[in-house]
Structure 1
Amino acid sequence: MKNLPQKVRSRKLNSRVDLTAMVSVSFLLIIFFMVTIELRKNKAMYLSLPDYDAYTCEWTGGCGENRSYTILLGDDDKLVSYMGLLEVPKIAPKKFGYGKDGIRQELLKQNKKMLNYSAQLGRPGQGMVVIIKPSQKSNFKNLVDILDEMAIADISAYVIVNDFTPEESKLIALK
């Protein structure tokens, strides 16, 4: 018999797809979108404001200048503070140093007094409001140090402003 041509059978190749790269890319995309969604969220900071009485159209935070404590930061690590208004201070301007024996002790003492005073008025938890005024000649380290003191003394309401009055400029230059 004659040799008949045999059918050429195609070999079936093992069809395996390597998905390792696709899995890596998909995980990277998932992580990327999770991070961008988290960064997209609005970040809010708690702002302590007095209550507004709609009936009398007045802010009812109470105590006004009794609650304000001003800290002036000058050059060469100068720190002067007073309570109330500079024209009629509740506590006269006084020079302090940084650290636990300086401004920290004063902040703790005055905040404790203010918390007791506000509790007697029926507004518990209202401590003093600290106004931090760094001068043009003060350095960044002093500002960071005073912000650390705010955290240590547990002062909940403080603000940093840079508008020195002429009287305050004279005061920081004298001390």
Structure 2
Amino acid sequence: MAELNTGDGGGKKGDKKVRSKKGNSRVDLTAMVDLAFLLITFFMLTTSLNKPQSMDLGMPDKPKPEDPQITMKVPDDRSLTILLGEGNKIKWYLGQFATPLAGPEEVTYGKEGIRKEILSREQILLEKFGDPKKAGLIVIIKPSKKSTYRNLVDILDEMAICKVPTYAIVDITKEEDALLAKVD
């Protein structure tokens, strides 16, 4: 509780002038400090903090040398390969690297770049097969050693924006890396 100490309150007896003695005033702030800590604790416990935003990315385990190699045949007209290079460079091709059905072409990130290409390929497949669940676009993402983490995150954002159901992150080959290094 608050307390005010005023001393014994008077002057010396026997003096002509009686002056009141000024006492030391002291306020006990213990209760206020307790209340402040209670309020801080209350707000810390009841406030919701920002949760980190993350994208789910399921990666397979590294194969053991004794495990058999599993290869998956991907139809050429459904597979779009995206190569990520140095300096925000993106190149894409449709089908196999040796015999591409379309490309390789260099594009940019964003609405008028790779997103436009992905959406146009999805539209072609929709017109050809009808049901996107049966024969949708398969995107193979191949980042080079010189691409940045931001490039990979940006291309994964494009996959989420375009709602591509099937995509994979694969190691880039030497030939594809040479294609990225080549100046158009």
What is residue 115 of structure 2 aligned with on the other side? 104
Deviation at 1:167, TM superposition (A): 1.6
Deviation at 1:115, TM superposition (A): 2.2
Q: Which amino acid aligns with 1:72?
A: L
Q: Which amino acid aligns with 1:158?
A: Y
What is residue 78 of structure 1 aligned with on the other side? 89
CA distance in 2, matches of 1:109, 1:134: 22
Deviation at 1:62, TM superposition (A): 8.8
**In percent, how many aligned pairs have the same letter?**
43
Q: Which amino acid aligns with 2:169?
A: I
Q: Deviations over 1:67-109 (max 9, x none)?
A: 1100000011010000001111111200000010100001000
Q: Which runs of 5+ in 2 are unaligned?
A: 1-55, 59-71
Alignment TM-score, normalising by the size of structure 1: 0.60
Please list every run of at least 4 consecutive aligned residues from structure 1 whose deviation after the TM superposition is greater than 3 angstroms. 122-125
Residue among 85, 89, 92 paired with 2:100:
89
CA 1:117–1:63: 2 relative to 1, 3 Å:
farther
Deviation at 1:123, TM superposition (A): 7.5
Q: CA RMSD in A?
A: 2.3
Alignment of 1:39-58 (within 5 A): none
Q: Is structure 2 residue 128 aligned with structure 1 residue 117?
A: yes
From the CA coordinates, give the structure whose radius of gyration is larger. 2
Higher relative CO (Cα under 8 Å, sequence separation at least 6) belongs to 1
Residue among 154, 162, 165 paired with 1:145:
154
Q: Which runs of 5+ in 1 are unaligned?
A: 1-44, 48-60
